[in-house]
Every structure is written in C-alpha cells, then in structure tokens.
Structure 1
Amino acid sequence: MNLRYSQLGLCIGGLASAVLAVPVYAQEHIAPTVVVTATRQPVKANELLADVTVIDRAQIERAAASNVVDLLSRQPGVQFARNGGPGASVSLYLRGTKPDQTKILVDGVPFNSTALSGSSLQYLSLNNVERIEIVRGAASAIYGADAIGGVINIITRTAEPGLRLDGYAGAGSRDTRQGDLAVSGGDERWRFRLHVNSLNTDGFSSRRGASNRDADDDRYRNEGYGGALSFHPAEGHEVGVSFLEQSGTVQYDSFGGSGNFDDRASFKTSVFNAFVRNRLTSSWSSRLSYGRTDEDRADYSEPAPWDPLGITRRESTNETLSWQNDIALPIGTGLVVVERFEQVARPRETFAEGNVQIDSLGLGWTADLGPHSWQANVRHDDHSRYGDKLTGGVSYGYQLAPDLRASAGVSKAFKSPSLDQLYNVSYGNPDLKPENALNRELGLTWASGNQLVSATYFINTIEDMIGWSGGYANVDKARIRGLTLAYALNVDGWDFAANADFLDAKDRTTGFRLGRRAKQSMNVSATRTIGAWTLGGEWALVGSRYDTNFETNRLGGYGLVNLTARYAIDRDWSVEARADNVFDKQYETARGYGTPGAGVFIGVRYAPR
C-alpha cells in the first residue's frame, strides 16, 4: 500500500518534537498500577481521563463466560441483541450507539466488517484472549472512522520465556463440547505460542414458536487455530507476527418460506498482524505495523424465483499500515501516527463497487502538572470517497483530593457509510453521507484503598444518522444522554462489583426511542474465595425496550442470575462450573428470536502459574 502521508513520515522526527497524542482511558480497577494500552500508549490507570474498563486474564477465567459477547454484555455501558442461538449475528450497543458505530480491534487491527452488526466478535475464542479494553465515548480523534460510541480492543495471548502447555476441556447443556490447547515457550530473545480450539453445540431453535424444520435445534460448530512469534534482539526492540483463524457453520431459522429448508451459513474469519518496535532514543520509540483481517460468509436459504440458488456470499478484507511514534516531552508524553486503511468487499454480484481507502495523520499531547491533567488529540482522515475529515478531542482532569478526581471532555467523531450500505446491489445508496457526532462528558472518580466509585455523565449528538426508509438514507438525528455508575470492592476474600446505566437514546427527528436500548440496566457480581474454592454469582437486570426505532414491538424487561464455581485441585489444575439463567427466565433481546434457558457447563483447566 502507498501512503499518501509518506512524505510527512520522512520528517517524523521534526514533527515529534512538537506535538503528540495521548492515552484516553481510566481503568475501573482498584489497583492504580495496572498498565493498559487501549489508546495506543501504555499508561498507568490512575493517570487517565476517559471512561474505560479493562478485563484481564484472571477476570476472564473467573467469569467462566462461554464467549466474548457474553463477557462484554455484563460491562458498563454495553447492551446487546442476538438474532438466535450460538454463533448468530450479535449487535452491541456501546453507550446507546449503533453496533457499527463502535470501533472493534483485535490486537490493534481494525476488525469491523461490512455487516450492520459491526463485526464478527461472536466467532472469537475467549480462551485465546489475554485482555479486553473497552473505551467508552467518541474516539475518532485517535482511531478515525467508526469510533462514535467508543472502541473495543481484543488483545490475544502471547508467550513468555520458558516452555508452557495450557488447555481447557468441558461439556454442558445442549450437548455442548469445548476444547482448547496451547503450547508456548522461548527464551529472552525468541518466543512463540501455538493454539487450537473447538466448540460444538446443538444449540436451540433460533425462532420462537417456529414450526416444521424451523422448530429443531440450530447447531453451531466453530474451530480455529493461531499463533504468535516474536524476536527480541535487544532491550527496547522487538519484531513480532501473530495470526488466528476461526471457521465453521451456524444454523438458523427462516422468517419466510416453508420453514422446511435447513437455513445455515458457513463462515471463516482471520486476523494477521506483523510489527517492528524500536526504542530509537531514550525518549523516542517507534512501532511500524501491518494488519489484515478477512471475513468470508456464505448464507444458504430456501431457493426462490428471484434467487434460484438461495446462496448469498459476502467477503471483506481490511488492511492497515501504521507508523506510530511515542515521544517523551519536557511536560507530558505524546504520539504521532501515520496510517493507511483500505477495505475491500466482494463479490461483484453482491457489491456494485467494493473498496475504500483512508489516509490518516494523528497528533496529540497528554500531561500532568500538579493537580491538573489534560489530553488533546487531533486527527486528519483523507477518505477516498468523502475527502477530508478533521476530528479532535480534549479532556481535562483536576485532583480535588488525594482520592477524588473530576474530569471533563469533548470530542468529535464520524462514521463513514459501510460498503454494504453504499454499494449493495439490492438496497445500497451511493449518495449516503457520513454520520457526524459530538460527545461531551463529565466524570467523577473516587479511589481509596480497596474501593473504587465512578460516575460518568455524557451527551452524544449524532447528525445525518443512517436509517432505513424504503432503503438506506441519512434521515435520522440522534441525541443520546446517559449516566454510568460503577462500584468495586475487594475485602477479606470478597470481590464485589456493580454497575448501572441510565440511558436516554432518542431519534430527534421522530422523537421516538432508539430500538433495542433499555433506559435502565444493571449488573451486580460477587465472588468469594474460601480455601481452594472460589464461588461467584451475577445478577443482570435489563429494562424494557422497543425492537424498532418507531417504538413498536415492545420487548419486556428481564433479570438473569448466573452462578460460577471453581475448585483449585492444585496450583495448575482446576475444575470450573457455570450455571446460566438458573431460574430459566424467558426473555427476548430481538423480536421473534429465541434465547437460551437454564444451562450448565463444567470444564477442567490446566494453566501453570
């Protein structure tokens, strides 16, 4: 790929001494020393300003969640809707924004596809995830297009020196079987990791009240593999490459036809990442990276006169070339990023046209001075279809007391129409304009010893929002206001966490509430360690919603209770169990689609410590 900003890249040293970009998140963990990387630079959590959650590997294992989406759905500011059983399309609503208005990254590589769901997170194996970082709030000034609601970064596991084997195997309700195996090793210079995973389940009927063949269980099969290799020639220098691939089949039910056809889809998704990291001086580090994601999906539905084969194929590829420079300044730190992104959609039978390119330059600065802290970012994106897009953001924090900090921020963001919305031969509209957003927020955080309390109030206004009116059109204007409250406590073997969201998401054109967003939602969890046992429970409450943006098809509120248990056989071996929806609650996240009833899953984990 040829960078439009290659000339600027040649004089990066001169630029770096003037301006740089900043971290934009604050972790909701109690320990202030945890380092996170969701905004491109490693920064201590207690030095950050934005609204962020970091889920580390220990929390992932303790949650015993079956997939990435289930784990994300319990986090502050996140609501979701699933169109059926395991493997079915999932929509995540981060701070009330549309699913495709959240930037999804895997190891920093853009994972958003042409689908309205935004990405295929449901296919990723959770056992290969090291940590997940959720940045809430508009972040286009750092990550460019699609980051109106925020950013979710899935960071996969890498190797450490020494030979290590780890694995997991389990079985549960609905004839679910899961297995994961990985081997890693190396020394101070060379390190590697290889992993394989498999998930099979009979699932359940995707449709409520289905008949004929649609009434049967809809199976799901997902198998994958991947690896990572890195070389550390000297301190501060690293060359690395990583890859993963997941493929399989998912069955679902028709909402038309006879109901006697086995509606299903085959899928394959992959991520490749290669990078070179160098500490050029004591105050300047550089990272050059290339990332690629591929998604291939074929849907098989009942043949019809207008579609005699009943096959719909979609393929998309994202390629990103990025040069990031981190520089220590006399006051604060900064970053300069030169980037090119290209997305291609195929085949021509589905997409009349199928590619877009964006060349970008991002700058910023972050610093602390006494009780004051601030962050400023600006990014210029040159879109191949829409031309120049300039976004910026600024945040300020003030330490009111040793344990109490207040913050405020404002940022702009944009979302360019997807290739599906623009060029789909059946319903695309090439005259669509980008969506533009302005986000403002206020935050208050109190952290003392083993407790943390945070409150964040935000208003996000979105112009030219793309909606459906006999086809895609820029017909909507949205105003999303909300308050997110979070609390965490760690004491005497107890870990307690709670979060609550109060959301007012409306279409300003019609005055109606945006569909599938509840006004109130809450998650409460508690775990207790007693000797070799770790026992936990979760209670999720979601208020009523409407299935559409026209306040039709009301979906009732619901509450789910999940229980977990872990028994440590020894330092390395453990038995884990999870009981989901223990009271067999009947509920809907999307109109007409089924949801899982009560279920149990038991597994054995080998993880050398």
Structure 2
Amino acid sequence: MRVIICVLIYGLLAGIASVFANEPLGQEEFNLGEIIVTNRRASFYSGRATENVSVLTEDKIKDLPARNLSEVLSYITGVDIEPRQGFGRGTSISIQGSDSRQVRVMIDGIPLNNQASGQVDPTRFPIDNIARIEVIKGASSHIWGSALGGVINVITKDTGTTLIPHGSITNSFAEFHTRNHNADLSGKINELGYYIFSSYMESGGEGARDDVLEKKAFGKLSYDLGNSARAICSFGYSAADVNSGEFPADSTVRWQAQPYCFRYGKITWEGHIFDAETIIDVKHSRQDIITRSYLSIDTEDPFWTTVTKDVLYELSINSTLYPRGRDLFVFGADFDWGGLKSNIYLSEEKTLSLQAPYCNYTLRLGTLDFNFGLRYDNNSEFGQEVSPSFGWVYHLDDATATLIRATVSRGFNAPPLLWKYNDDVALGIAPNPDIKAERAWVYELGLESKLVTGLWIKFSLYRADISNAISLAENESGLLYMKNFEKFRRQGADLQLRIKVTEWLSFFGAAVFNDIENRATGETVRGGGKPRQGFDIGIEYKSKSGFAFSLLGNYNRWNEPADYQPNDRKMLLDAKLSQRFKHLATFLNIYNLTNTKYWADYFFPVPERYFEGGFTINW
C-alpha cells in the first residue's frame, strides 16, 4: 500500500509540474562554477548551490599522490580520513565532525553504506575510472534520506563517443614490494557506447602478515534509443585479500585477515515523460566480507571467523522540469529493499524496506536564488521521517563574484540493522532493540569570494542539534552497545584560501574546527574517527611543457580517547612530480615526505616514508 501511495504522489507531482514546464535552462542562465548533480539530483551549476559543495575533477585527481578513493578524499578540506597502517586497510570518513556512518557514499548514485556498521570503506574503490567526485558537506536528508553528515557521490567516466577506441595503461611500482597495474578502454560502435576498466595491486607490506592483493573492474554500456533517450548499464567489482599486519603485543588478537568481495551496478533509462527529463534506475550492491582473527602471528588457524553478507536493491525514479525557463523543479521517489546475514551476530537474515518520495524547487529572482526541499522516508525498521529544507544564495553583482549562502534543514540518520538485532553477545557486544534514528536541525552559513585578482576565499559555519544521538555505551551487564542519547551538538567552521601567483603557480591553505558536545553532561564526545582541528597547506605548479609538482600537507588533531595513545598533532606531507607528453606521462609520488611517526590509534601507525614511480600510456 505504501508503495502505491508513493507512486501516486509521484504521478500527482508530474501532472502538476507539467502545467508549469518550460524550456530547459540555457547555459547563459547558469554561468557560475561547475555542473554538479548530487545536491539537486539534476544538472545544476555549483555557483547556484545553497549547500556547501566541493568538486574534484578527473584532472585534479590526476595531480594528487593517491591510489584509491580514500587517499583522494583525504585531500578535500572538511572531509577527514583517519589514517591506517599500510595499503588497502579499512578506514573511516568524517565530514564536519560526523560519524562515518552519517556520511552517505555512492557510486553513480548507488548507495554503498552497509547494514553491519552503516559505514563505507573508501579504500575498496579505484580512482582511474572516476570522472569527478561531488561532496555535499552537511545534512542532505531532503534529497537522499539518511545522510546526517553529508554525501559523497563518485561519478564514473561515461562511455566513449568515437569509433576508434581511446584508452590508457598505467603501471607503478613502490616500496614494500608494491606494484599497481590498470587499464581502460572506451569507444562507440553505431549507437552502442562502451567503457571498461580493470586494475590489479599487490603489496608485501612493511612487516609480517601485512600483505595485500586487490583486483578491481568496472564496465559501462550505453545505447542511444532515439528521441534523446538512452539506456545505460554499468557494473563494478572490487575484491581483495587484506591482512592487518601485526597488532601490538598487548592485544589479544595478534593479526586479522579480511578478504572481501564488493559488487555493484545499475540499469538506467533516460528520456522524457510528460515533458519532464526522467531517469529510471534499478540499482544493486552486494558486499561479502570475511574477518578471520588469529591469536598468534605464526598460526594459520583462526580463533574465530565472521562472515557477513549485505545486499541492497533500489528502484529510483527522478524527473526534472524547468518552470519559467529559469527555475528548477526536481521530483521523484526511491524504493529500497536491503538484507543482512551474519554467521555469528545474526541467527537469521534481517531485512528492511524503504519508500521515499521527494521534491525540491529552485526559484531564481535576479541575484537571489531560493531552494525549497522536502522528502518523506518510510523505513520498515526505524519509522517515518519528514525532512524539509530551505536555503538561499545571494550573488553580489560586482567583480569579486561573491556568494553568500544559508541553509536550514532537518536531517536524520537511521542506524544499521546489526545494532538492533545482534543476537550473539559472546564477543561483549549487545543489541539495542529500542534504538531509534538520529534527528537534527542543521544550520549552515557560507561565503565565497574572489576578493582581489588571484585570491579566492571560502568560509563556512555549521551547527547541528542532534536528538537521539547514537554513541557507544556500557549496559548493566558490562556489555557494549549503541545507545540513543538525549542531545549532541556538533558545530564548527572551515576556512579555505587559494592564491594564484602566476598562471602556473598557486598556494592554498585551509583550517577546519569541529566540536561535538553531549548537551546533557557538557562533555566532549570522543572516538569514532572525528577530528577536532585540521589544517591543510599546499603548493601546485604546472608548466606549459607538461611538468607538474604538488606538495600537500595535512594536520589533524583527532578526537580519540587517551587510551588510544594518539600521536597525531603533526603535519603529514606528500608530494607528486609528473611530466606529461603527448601520449605518455611519468610520475613520482612521495608519501610521508618527512618520515613522521604518526597515528590516531597506536594500533595503526602510518607507514614510514616511501616512494612510488610509474608511467601512463594513452591513446
């Protein structure tokens, strides 16, 4: 019945909207910033966004000393990745001091957060098949539902457009017996376009039980159906054998092995329905994760083995209209079904379903843009949520291209199924059958300006008042469990500066401050990979001859408890040197340039200084 109601709401919105439909927005109407899709679920210029949005393009990613999505995200101001030892190690994401599970991570709009922890491990995804990364900092529940901390949407490369195939081959070699190979190919035969990608990485690691083997692939097909309609099919695969390395001597478990297999894909139809640009997606993801724990560094027999299977199916219908030829109206609905199995924590499979209609309207009135958003989520396990949003952006009509943004929204975050249903307390972890979704009113204010020639500045403030906030607690039996607290307040600011000295040379710097407080006790909330302070610095040089140099520094003071023995109030420096020719590019990456001893948790120190060199051949 709820599914039928959502479909009827969608049909009603389509009928009403078609009355006001007009011509699509011309480029001259929206001429600020880059085209993005994540904050409206439709093509939109970032300079018109009322949210705090960051974009990394393919060219920018190529200039970074990075091998996977985790390392790329660590260079985005306000997106914090807790460093871990070695290659391919699982890590966490924080945006504006959020928990990792509060950040919704997607590839081409496919949700990746699992129902075991609510998180996504970004080390599992390659970067050479990425066209751009879009990040919304702050609650995005009026668009995407459960997303209290923000949204990261990885948009992959499109299929080719030429009969003659274009492609590239990249090989790199690093210390610790590390090698990385990847290749991609794209083209088009008549109406059929294609893009394929594959990668292989292995590393011996720094010490015993520290080796990693990764295999990743991605493919996309598109077919032109005529009348501006197109069908698209994509599939991604990521699998690895990851060993943890040796844990400290005082640890009961001395090392772990975590092989995983991650599959995701979708089938898309793009066209017009009732004069509306419409996209219909059928999405799927499956995560199979095995964790084997060992009591001795020398043994091959695990003390225990955990097998987890997480599955998601989603149907999304999204339509876009352009009332008055200036405004933007987006409406649609998501229908989800998810399931979780575990050989230890669950005696039977647990499932949930979700129905969620949504809409948002952007109204342009001269130098002022207003956005109104609304989404209704009906979750079979965690109830109903209504998420309104109102924001505006004011454009100063002067040479500084100054923008002032403000947004007020209601966000929420649903906990993962495992926290509610875990029925094996042998490992000291108890379920919470009464756990509720977190809810928050979120306030954001921002300014962006080119004050003088060559100087760009961006300043943002945020505050989130979270009720039913979830954090780790201990029950009367001494078991750990996830508990709803009355109210947490998360607030902070970030400042970014970029100075363009010449056409080829620029400097940048950034500062981020976060504070998370339990309002009932006045205590700072600790743990969970949340930074209190962060500073970024960088130098970028690009010459006409194709030579490029980047020096990037990152300082984070993590919010970890004292028993983690953090050694984190230090700057980590990375560098990249590259030379590009017509069909060849060579590069040298230097990680941890100053050989700094650094960790947020003494279990996971970052590797010592090491080098990676390689080349790319493209045609």
Does TM-score exceed 0.5, indicating one fold? yes
Gap change, CA 1:517 and 1:385, over 3 Å in 2: closer
Counterpart in the other structure of 1:333:
328
**Aligned mate of 1:425, from 405, 408, 423:** 423
**Aligned mate of 1:279, from 269, 272, 287:** 272
Gap change, CA 1:150 and 1:579, over 3 Å in 2: same
Conserved? CA contact 2:18–2:276, under 8 Å: no
Counterpart in the other structure of 1:467:
471
Conserved? CA contact 1:562–1:582, under 8 Å: yes
**RMSD (Å), alpha carbons:** 2.5
| Counterpart secondary structure, 1:301 | strand
Counterpart in the other structure of 1:505:
516
- Between the aligned residues of both structures, percent identity stands at 19
Alignment of 1:156-555 (within 5 A): 156-162=156-162, 163-187=165-189, 189-204=191-206, 216-234=208-226, 236-252=228-244, 253=246, 263-280=256-273, 284-302=276-294, 310-330=304-324, 332-347=327-342, 349-352=344-347, 353-402=349-398, 403-426=401-424, 427-447=430-450, 451-470=455-474, 471-475=481-485, 477-490=487-500, 491-510=502-521, 511-515=523-527, 516-530=529-543, 531-543=545-557, 545-548=558-561, 553-555=565-567
Name the CA distance, whole Å, in 2 between partners of 1:240 and 1:221.
31
Name the CA distance, whole Å, in 2 between partners of 1:558 and 1:533.
30
Gap change, CA 1:400 and 1:251, over 3 Å in 2: same
Aligned residues: 581
Opposite residue 485 of structure 2, the aligned amino acid is V
Opposite residue 226 of structure 1, the aligned amino acid is F
Worse overlay, 444-453 or 244-253: 444-453
Name the CA distance, whole Å, in 2 between partners of 1:81 and 1:274.
34
Conserved? CA contact 1:92–1:117, under 8 Å: no
CA displacement at 1:308 relative to structure 2: 8.2
Opposite residue 492 of structure 1, the aligned amino acid is E
Gap change, CA 1:431 and 1:561, over 3 Å in 2: same
Conserved? CA contact 1:513–1:551, under 8 Å: no
Gap change, CA 1:371 and 1:475, over 3 Å in 2: same
Name the CA distance, whole Å, in 1 between partners of 2:59 and 2:149.
27
Alignment of 1:75-86 (within 5 A): 75-86=76-87
CA displacement at 1:82 relative to structure 2: 4.0
Conserved? CA contact 2:68–2:127, under 8 Å: yes
Conserved? CA contact 2:565–2:600, under 8 Å: no
Gap change, CA 1:451 and 1:260, over 3 Å in 2: closer
> Is 2:572 aligned against 1:560?
yes
CA displacement at 1:553 relative to structure 2: 4.3
Opposite residue 156 of structure 1, the aligned amino acid is T
Name the CA distance, whole Å, in 1 between partners of 2:84 and 2:593.
22
Conserved? CA contact 2:568–2:600, under 8 Å: no
Opposite residue 320 of structure 2, the aligned amino acid is D
Conserved? CA contact 1:246–1:269, under 8 Å: yes
Opposite residue 57 of structure 2, the aligned amino acid is D
CA displacement at 1:217 relative to structure 2: 4.9
CA displacement at 1:46 relative to structure 2: 1.8
CA displacement at 1:248 relative to structure 2: 1.4
> Is 2:88 aligned against 1:87?
yes
Name the CA distance, whole Å, in 2 between partners of 1:45 and 1:150.
16
Conserved? CA contact 2:2–2:355, under 8 Å: no
Counterpart in the other structure of 1:603:
614
Name the CA distance, whole Å, in 1 between partners of 2:69 and 2:116.
18
Conserved? CA contact 1:327–1:335, under 8 Å: yes
Conserved? CA contact 1:81–1:590, under 8 Å: no
Counterpart in the other structure of 2:153:
153
Name the CA distance, whole Å, in 2 between partners of 1:284 and 1:265.
46
Name the CA distance, whole Å, in 1 between partners of 2:2 and 2:168.
41
CA displacement at 1:401 relative to structure 2: 3.5
The one-character-per-residue Cα deviations of 1:523-566 (angstroms, maximum 9, x if unpaired) are 122221232311121121223x3423x89745441101111111
Gap change, CA 1:419 and 1:204, over 3 Å in 2: farther
Counterpart in the other structure of 2:427:
none
Gap change, CA 1:44 and 1:451, over 3 Å in 2: farther
CA displacement at 1:451 relative to structure 2: 4.2
For structure 2, the 5+ residue unaligned runs are 22-30, 425-429, 475-480
Opposite residue 487 of structure 2, the aligned amino acid is K
Name the CA distance, whole Å, in 2 between partners of 1:478 and 1:258.
32
Alignment of 1:112-123 (within 5 A): 112-116=113-117, 118-123=119-124
TM-score normalised by the chain length of structure 2: 0.88
Alignment of 1:116-135 (within 5 A): 116=117, 118-135=119-136
Gap change, CA 1:525 and 1:79, over 3 Å in 2: same
| Counterpart secondary structure, 1:3 | helix
Opposite residue 576 of structure 1, the aligned amino acid is F
TM-score normalised by the chain length of structure 1: 0.90
The one-character-per-residue Cα deviations of 1:379-400 (angstroms, maximum 9, x if unpaired) are 0011112332101111012223
Worse overlay, 108-117 or 415-424: 108-117
Counterpart in the other structure of 2:583:
572
Gap change, CA 1:269 and 1:257, over 3 Å in 2: farther
CA displacement at 1:11 relative to structure 2: 4.0
Counterpart in the other structure of 1:27:
none
